[in-house]
């Protein structure tokens, strides 16, 4: 039970690991329409003004604003219709003093004009003349050159996760290919003499592998690529051989350890044998998730996650998610939380960070967080829960009625 | 300007559309490891008890609890070690009265035993005898048969979106293939005489297509498959031909309309010509997004979304997202919101639902929502914003200092 002597607070444990993580981020070029949710590898700067010509934001008439000053229903301004701007073409007409040029929303405001009168505020007098019944200010109903973004301005920073509107914004600038960080390959090894693949019928005493499926999906959800190495019996040589293979072919190795102390210690020994510096953290002041092992072998991060499904998810979230974000240059780790009112007391021991599963129940305008208690060996408590509530290291617990942050699964 | 005469509130507009949507959901079978974020097409019931044998949750000794009653440091209970349960094998040993069987976490509790004493609460007297220094209650440190889930119990309901832990739970039950609803193919047509593909250099008066990229990514984010039909000039025949092709080959058609009133009306005419019942809603009491067109042609939902990027995103969220959820049998529409304190007044007109873009700023323990005002023709306001604040139909605005829900982009 080595772990008992070296437990660190979760944040400290992650810092120890982080100090040994590689800093270089690997990149690749992808077309714009494959870039959703990818992370920008470079700071993007606008190659052009947007728009690069003054555009009308209304259907109406391009005019000189001064020609409409003082116009009203009772005393309209009369303007001569000098022509029309066709959509998608250069305005090859000039709006002179006392003139109006017919224009549609999105049309190019012609030279001479500095505003657009909405068609609703005009009336045709005859084929060549309109009356304007409300004045417009200079610039009104016009999108100025570079009003959206100017050439040379910062568009999006390195590390930004690309959203749908970002892709639209890049399309607008003609950026149809871009440098993003590479998706990471994450090696996943399950271990345990009692564990069989999900498609097998377990014999008495055996159980099906749960964590490979869960961890693979967590990796996908984080935007990376799971590589499954199957189930390895609790034998040092076999575990080491598989872990070595995983280390050589992936960017990050997760070993979902057996639950007994002896197999947990073996996990640490195997990870320690993979390279330098080896195991950095063995045991964390955390429940569930105490027997977590964190390490680095020759630049590859290594994780020995506890076998219990709940512990496995909590420790993935606390340690693997920020590591993946770090390795892929993410500006921030996305974390979806909601505020909810706790329905009952959660006891906890000071000096340990606790994560308690909760179900969310709507109560009028407010959400309630109902603790779902259950042994961390259970998987179905996780399925009945919607998220986790954290009890801080130095807190003795949380009281019913408190507002808490719920980290959504 | 037909739309002015028929504007409905957004919720009413969606209900009109929903009443005409097909109810049958199409399904397909996928392997478990491809099922993340897919929607279950059937109610799943557990085929087995989980666990199907009593398991130890600790390293220690399986015992009869009664043999330990009253045990203490001062007066330990002495038990004879009858053997060991090996991991992953059937416990072929019996724990008789006065006996203890060595067991690891996850091991099968042998017949006769009804509890497990943690190894920390025992001491070896000799090779065949231990002393127990704390009593255990019956059932302590044991996972009962079916404690996780019982055979025949409901696992997950139809329409549930599968999360990582759900996949683990299904793996535990041996469910390695499952019936999910089919991803929908969403046809996307851009129109506008002034619009050119993003990879082209626009001539004066032209702009690049923004909405195809944004809408395609919004479709992907909703878990479905965009099918791009490119940019069609504002000519009725060409638009109709492309829309017909889209309707025949996809499950849902989105036409990102030009911004001028005449092209908006043409959009409605084209959608109306596609089949029965045709256009159902033309204009919504919404800003931005008023000139939205909703319809159904022979069972295929049709959307004419406004060309302005902001309007396009807001109306996609309000109308296309729930339609996709409906067509794919989703139990609920996921909507990520956070609570934040508004930093300044938002004026609004009663009788219209307003959506105002906000930037989120952390202020100690609280989030602040800072309105980002800008014409809805701009794309970069969307990029500088983190989400939208809704001003209800009957509200005259929102006041600085109010707590508001921010719908995250």
In angstroms, what separates the C-alpha of B336 from chain A's closest C-alpha? 8
Q: Residue A63, preceding bond cis, omega within 30 degrees?
A: no
* Cβ-based burial of B290 (10 A; exposed 0-12, middle 13-18, buried ≥19): middle
Chain B: closest CA distance from residue A168 (Å):
5
CB nearest to B204's CB, from A90, A208, A209: A90
Contacting residues of A for B307, CB less than 8 Å apart: 106
- The answer to whether the CB atoms of B172 and A55 lie below 8 A apart is no
pLDDT at B163 over 60: yes
CA A276 to chain B, closest CA, distance in angstroms equals 31
pLDDT attached to residue A334: 62
- Chain A residue with the nearest C-alpha to that of B217: A164
Mean pLDDT of chain B: 93
Give the CA diameter of chain A. Answer: 95
B4, B122, B152, B172: best to mutate for the A interface, most A CBs within 10 A: B172
CB–CB of A167 and B217 under 8 A? yes
Fold topology of A2-26+183-327 = Molybdenum Cofactor Biosythetic Enzyme; Chain A (3.40.980)
In degrees and rounded to multiples of 5, residue B124 shows phi and psi of: -75, 125
Q: B55-143 belongs to which homologous superfamily?
A: Molybdopterin biosynthesis moea protein, domain 3. (2.170.190.11)
Q: Give this prediction's pTM.
A: 0.93
Q: At a CB cut-off of 8 Å and minimum separation 6, what does B365 contact?
A: none
> Is A234's CB within 8 Å of B201's CB?
no
pLDDT of residue A6: 62
Counting one residue from A and one from B, how many pairs have CB atoms under 8 Å apart?
Answer: 279
Q: Which of A87, A163, A205 sits opposite B89 (nearest CB)?
A: A205
User: At what angle are helices A236-249 and A261-272 packed, to 10 degrees?
Assistant: 50
For chain B, percent of residues with pLDDT exceeding 90: 84
Q: With beta carbons under 8 A apart, name residues in chain B contacting A378.
A: 143, 147-148
For residue B234, the tally of other CB atoms under 10 A from its CB is 21
Interface test with B, best of A53, A104, A106 (most B CBs within 10 A): A106
B142 Cβ neighbours under 8 A, 6+ residues apart: B54, B55, B56, B57, B109, B114, B115, B116
What average pLDDT does the segment A59-75 reach?
96
Tell me which of A67-81, A243-257, B223-237, B246-260 is least confident: B246-260
For residue A389, pLDDT beyond 80: yes
Q: How confident is the model at residue B260 (pLDDT cuts 50, 70, 90)?
A: confident
CB contact (8 A) between residue A378 and residue B148: yes
Q: Kindly state the average pLDDT of the residues A284-300.
A: 95
Distance from CA of B214 to the nearest CA of A (A): 5
Nearest C-alpha neighbor of A318 from the set A300, A328, A305 = A305
Distances in Å between the alpha carbon of B159 and those of A220, B40, B44, B294, B317?
21, 5, 11, 25, 20
Give, in words, the CATH class of A337-408.
mainly beta
Partner residue opposite B168 with nearest CB, options A105, A155, A309: A309
Number of other CB atoms surrounding residue B136 within 10 Å: 26
Give A330's pLDDT tier (boundaries 50, 70, 90): very high
Identity of the residue in B165, B262, B378 whose CB atom sits nearest the CB atom of A382 = B165
Largest Cα separation within chain B, whole Å, is 95
Query: Which chain A residues are within 8 Å of B172, Cβ to Cβ?
Result: 198, 207-208, 210, 379
- Is the Cβ–Cβ distance between B329 and B28 less than 8 Å? no
Identify the CATH homologous superfamily for domain B27-49+158-181: Molybdopterin biosynthesis moea protein, domain 2 (3.90.105.10)
Find chain B residues with C-beta within 8 A of A380's C-beta. 50, 148-149, 169
Which CATH number does A27-50+156-181 carry? 3.90.105.10
pLDDT at A151: 97
Residues in chain B with CB shorter than 8 Å from the CB of A37 are 221
Per CATH, domain B2-25+183-327 is 1.20.1300.10: no
pLDDT for the residue B26 = 93
* Mean pLDDT in residue range B385-398: 90
Q: Mean pLDDT, to the nearest integer, of A29-55? A: 97
Closest-CA distance, B115 to chain A, in angstroms, reads 15
| Nearest CA among A210, A280, A295, A293 for reference residue A247 | A295
Q: What are phi and psi of A403, to 5 degrees?
A: -85, 130
User: Which residues on B lie below 8 Å from A258 (Cβ)?
Assistant: 87, 105-106
The per-residue pLDDT for A221 is 94
* Average of per-residue pLDDT across B163-178: 96
Residues A316-326 have pLDDT tens digits of 999 999 999 99
Which two three-digit tokens encode residue A126? Answer: 């005859």
- pLDDT, tens digit, 9 for 90 and up, residues B310-344: 999 999 999 999 999 999 999 877 677 888 999 99
Instruction: Check pLDDT > 80 for residue B81.
Output: yes
Report the pLDDT value the prediction gives residue A374, as an integer from 0 to 100.
80
Q: How confident is the model at residue A1 (pLDDT cuts 50, 70, 90)?
A: very low
CB contact under 8 A, A36 and B207: no
The verdict on a CB contact (< 8 Å) between A53 and B204 is yes
- Mapped onto helix, strand or coil, the DSSP state of residue B1 is coil
Chain B's closest residue to A222, CA to CA, is B164
Contact A171 B221 (CB under 8 A): no
Do the beta carbons of residue B180 and residue B40 sit within 8 Å?
yes
- Whether the predicted pLDDT of B4 surpasses 80: no
Alpha-carbon distance of A130 to A100, in angstroms, equals 8
Residues of A whose CB is below 8 A from B375 = 57, 143, 147
Averaged pLDDT, A71-78: 96
Domain segments of chain A as ranges: 2-26+183-327, 27-50+156-181, 55-143, 337-408
Query: pLDDT-based confidence at B403, cuts 50/70/90?
Result: very high
């Amino acid at each position: 039970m080595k772990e008992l002597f070296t437990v660190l607070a979760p944040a400290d444990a992650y810092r120890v690991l982080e100090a040994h993580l590689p800093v270089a981020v690997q990149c690749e070029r992808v077309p714009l329409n494959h870039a959703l949710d990818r992370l920008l590898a470079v700071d993007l700067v606008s190659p052009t003004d947007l728009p690069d010509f003054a555009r009308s934001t209304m259907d109406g008439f391009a005019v000189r604003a001064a020609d409409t000053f003082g116009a009203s229903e009772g005393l309209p301004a009369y303007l001569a219709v000098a022509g029309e701007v066709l959509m998608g073409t250069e305005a090859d007409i000039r709006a002179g003093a006392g003139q109006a040029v017919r224009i549609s929303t999105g049309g190019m405001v012609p030279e001479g004009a500095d505003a657009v009168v909405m068609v609703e505020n005009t009336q045709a007098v005859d084929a060549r003349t309109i009356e304007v019944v409300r004045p417009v200010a200079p610039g009104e109903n016009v999108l100025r050159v570079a009003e959206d973004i100017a050439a040379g301005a910062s568009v999006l920073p390195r590390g930004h996760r690309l959203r749908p509107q970002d892709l639209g914004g890049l399309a607008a600038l003609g950026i149809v290919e871009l440098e993003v960080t590479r998706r990471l390959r994450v090696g996943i090894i399950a271990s345990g003499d009692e564990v069989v693949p999900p498609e097998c019928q377990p014999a008495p005493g055996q159980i099906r592998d749960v964590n490979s499926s869960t961890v693979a999906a967590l990796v996908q959800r984080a935007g990376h690529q799971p590589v499954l190495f199957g189930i390895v019996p609790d034998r040092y040589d076999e575990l080491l051989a598989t872990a070595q293979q995983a280390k050589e072919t992936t960017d990050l190795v997760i070993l979902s350890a057996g639950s007994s102390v002896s197999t947990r210690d073996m996990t640490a020994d195997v990870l320690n044998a993979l390279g330098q510096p080896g195991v950095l953290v063995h045991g964390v002041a955390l429940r569930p998730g105490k027997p977590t092992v964190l390490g680095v072998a020759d630049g590859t991060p290594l994780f020995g996650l506890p076998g219990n499904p709940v512990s496995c998810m909590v420790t993935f979230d606390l340690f693997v998610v920020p590591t993946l974000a770090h390795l892929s240059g993410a500006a921030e780790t996305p974390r979806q939380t909601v505020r909810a009112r706790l329905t009952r007391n959660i006891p906890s021991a000071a000096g340990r960070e606790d994560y308690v599963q909760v179900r969310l129940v709507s109560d009028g305008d407010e959400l309630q967080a109902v603790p779902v208690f259950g042994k961390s060996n259970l998987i179905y408590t996780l399925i009945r829960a919607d998220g986790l509530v954290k009890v801080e290291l130095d807190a003795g617990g949380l009281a019913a009625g408190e507002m808490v942050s719920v980290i959504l699964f």
